[in-house]
Amino acid sequence: MHNPWLQHYPPGVPAAARIDAYRSLTELLEAAFQRHASRDALACMDSRMSFRDVDEMSQSLGAWLQSLGMERGARVAVMMPNLPQYLVAIAAILRAGYVVVNVNPLYTARELEHQLTDSGAEAVIVLENFAHTLEECIDRTPVRHVVLAAMGDLLGFWRGRLVNFAVRHVRRMVPEFKLPLDGGRTVTPFSDALTDGMRLSLRRVDVGPDDVAFLQYTGGTTGVSKGATLLHRNVVANIMQCEAWFKPMLDRVGDQQLTIVCALPLYHIFALTICALMGAHFGAMNLLIPNPRDIPGLVRTLAKYRINMFPAVNTLFNALANDADFARLDFSGLVVSNGGGMAVQQATAERWLKVTGCPVVEGYGLSETSPVATSNRLDLQEFTGTIGLPIPSTEIAIRDDNGRDVPMGTAGEICIRGPQVMAGYWQRDDETAKVMTDDGFFKSGDVGVMDERGYIRIVDRKKDMILVSGFNVYPNEIEQVVNLHPGVLECAAVGVADERAGEAVKLFVVKNDPTLAEEDIANWCRDNFTAYKRPKYIEFRDELPKSNVGKILRRELRSHA
């Protein structure tokens, strides 16, 4: 295959990455813990933890998890925002020989039940703030062991107690819950699991490149939420590919330790790979932001640190770039602002560059590609409007519906081949077959155009996925749930442009009950969907446009939305 993009790589970026530098993520993390032991691995709420701390705590928690008797390869879910416990939990699960299942803590009980059941998770590490959701569905899942974390667990003795008191009793952020203990189920405080694990020894597990590391849930390019099966070698490869791409720019910081702003949620593949894992490999300090929606609080936090790398989605870049207090911060250390998850808008990129002096570099990837597949050059100052070039050891083909490569400059489906591409969808061979070609390319579902230099521009979506603030929303899921409302005859969900979130969900409803009101639908969606999936607009219609075979024509609804 002709790879024109290689001629346009920045100086110092190789065509191929050292994808086999480590046999597993476990080996990569343990090497990082030893190499950077005395450095700060993270900062959160004015508390810091060193790599040595994360090493020791993850060994203890991993040993405790092994004492539960779960077999190698068992799935352990993690359900919390960006807190120190998250990084400890990920390392512990992997080192114990288990599989991490990342869970959005804002899921409803219905969404959580599906993910825990589909993954076969036997244990879950959950922040107490969200335990009430787990309570609603745990009896219908295979979960046998719950580790209950509190916000202040790893923030130091006095600060931790103060934070927990404020969260529980002042701000009342922990709804009442009572997790059932019948049938041999266990519920253990996170701090107790750590303490008990200190008296145990972590049993070494020979984790190899083809063992599963993460089940990263996504709608994929079709249908219901599925687990992208990411092997250790997939994620290691993507870390090393990103290292090859980022290193020439990050070397400008010199010998000082990098500080990465981790405002993206760690359960999202973007932050997981770039912040948590590549950050550990680099020996960077992750500045954990539990609530990035609190812009004033985020700005106050950023003011205390010399930041070097800021991964984010367009909505966060935009909110900060338009904040007067943010504009007064010192950005002299900021060398990389990388955007992903959703399209970066030109106005946002230009405003960010004006405020910080650091360009937003847009990239592209999916859960199925661990995630990074393409990126713009980090040394560019101007906005390109593209998703950049394929990163090292990655091939991109633009193909038609028959699987044939289209001529340069012609639109077609973006297909990706590389060591970061998932092994398949968890226990869904039929769905895997739909997205993998015979020659090893993953069909992204996005339509793009590649120019003669190898730069790729996304022009459309092959599927009807809606991208809300970087998160995938699938119309099928919205419609299936809304159609269960007794007052709904039929409905259709589409994406519409939204200044803040990139896109928002608009729902068209045909009534079965003439008394059905917009508030009824909104309440139904509030009970069944996490916030970003809920329709922002609801419109009632007498009928929906359909094809000759009765299929609802979403494209027609979009054109009149």
Q: What is the pLDDT of residues 414-445, one digit of tens each?
A: 999 999 999 999 999 999 999 999 999 999 99
Tokens of 139: 């009896």
Write the DSSP string, 166-216: IIIIIS--S-------GGG-EEEEHHHHHHHHTTS-PPP----TTSEEEEE
> Alpha-carbon distance 343 to 470, whole Å?
8
Segments of the chain assigned to CATH 3.30.300.30: 466-559
Local confidence band at 221 (pLDDT 50, 70, 90 cut-offs): very low
Segment 491-549, tens digit of pLDDT: 999 999 998 899 999 999 999 999 999 999 999 999 999 999 999 999 999 999 986 65
Confirm whether pTM is higher than 0.85.
Answer: yes
* CA triple 118-123-126, angle to 5 deg: 100
- 466-559: in CATH 3.30.300.30: yes
Q: What is the pLDDT of residues 155-189, one digit of tens each?
A: 999 999 999 999 999 999 999 999 998 888 999 99
Strands 360-365 and 456-461: unpaired
Q: What pLDDT is stored for residue 161 in this prediction?
A: 96
| Beta strand spans in 31-72 (E) | 40-44, 47-50
Q: Which candidate, 499, 516, 495, places its Cα nearest to that of 507? A: 495
The CATH class for the domain spanning 25-207 reads alpha beta
Please state, in angstroms and rounded to a whole number, the distance separating the CA atoms of residues 383 and 192. Answer: 50
Closest-CA residue to 70 (of 120, 136, 113, 115): 120
Per the prediction, the chain carries an average pLDDT of 94
CATH 3.40.50.980 in the chain is located at: 25-207
Choose between 181 and 114: higher pLDDT: 114
Q: What is the DSSP string of 406-436?
A: PPTT--EEEEEESTTS-SEETT-HHHHHHHB
Residue 80 pLDDT exceeds 50: yes
d(CA 441, CA 484): 37
Name the strand (E) or helix (H) holding 156.
Answer: none
19 and 419 Cβ atoms separated by less than 8 Å? yes
Residue 448 has pLDDT above 80, yes or no: yes
- Does the pLDDT of residue 225 top 70, yes or no? yes
**The domain defined by 4-14+233-461 carries CATH number 3.90.650.10:** no
Q: Which residues of the chain form CATH 3.40.50.12780?
A: 4-14+233-461
